[in-house]
């Protein structure tokens, strides 16, 4: 309900919304639903080396989940949707973490660049994101926004 401070306007105007956006659903559930969508539609090609790598040099083990690549791609697509202009360097900082250095103090360390560059290239090939000539970073395309909003609307209706 919209309430106006101007007494000349109607006191209340009911506003209705038809669809849902990515901002309307919880992040964790949306990322899981989008990752399942990526896996089901095979929009992203799982690289051969996906089971061999770690997500950062300071990590000791590779991810446990078999679908970790799709989950990371879904998370990156959501972040680009919410705040465009992100590039490889931004994602290495976003997914970076605390590097344990033995007896020395812990320090921040960035995540792997090659992994995030590959995911961004895959998302661009499937036309979910694109780069703009006049600006830095990657931005969501209209087709990508439509697809992510569709997944959000399906999730909000309960049709995971």
Q: What is the pLDDT of residue 36?
A: 93
45 - beta bridge partners?
none
Query: What's the 3-state SS for 50-119?
Result: HHCCCCCCCCCCCCCCCCHHHHHHHHHHHHHHHCCCECHHHHHHHCCEEECCCCCCCEEECCCHHHHHHH
| pLDDT (0 to 100) of residue 139 | 95
Give the C-alpha distances (Å, rounded to integers) separating 14 from 4, 11, 151, 153. Answer: 12, 10, 26, 21
Residue 15: its pLDDT value, please?
42
What is the model's pLDDT at position 86? Answer: 92
Q: Is 156 exposed, middle or buried (0-12, 13-18, 19+ CB in 10 A)?
A: middle
Q: Which pLDDT value is given to residue 10? A: 46
pLDDT score, position 91: 93
Which residues of the chain, if any, have pLDDT below 70?
1-18, 159-160
């Amino acid at each position: 309900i919209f309430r106006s401070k101007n007494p000349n306007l109607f006191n209340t105007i009911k506003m209705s919304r038809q669809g849902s956006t990515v901002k309307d659903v919880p992040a964790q559930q949306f990322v899981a639903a989008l990752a399942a969508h990526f896996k089901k539609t095979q929009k992203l090609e799982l690289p051969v080396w996906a089971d061999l790598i770690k997500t950062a040099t300071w990590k000791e083990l590779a991810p446990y989940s078999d679908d970790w690549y799709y989950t990371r791609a879904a998370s990156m697509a959501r972040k680009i949707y919410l705040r465009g202009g992100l590039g490889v360097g931004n994602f290495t900082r976003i997914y970076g973490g605390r590097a344990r250095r033995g007896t020395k103090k812990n320090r921040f360390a960035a995540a792997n660049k090659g992994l995030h560059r590959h995911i961004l290239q895959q998302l661009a090939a499937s036309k979910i994101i694109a780069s703009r000539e006049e600006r830095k970073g990657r931005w969501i395309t209209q087709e990508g926004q439509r697809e992510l909003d569709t997944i959000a609307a399906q999730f909000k209706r309960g049709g995971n």
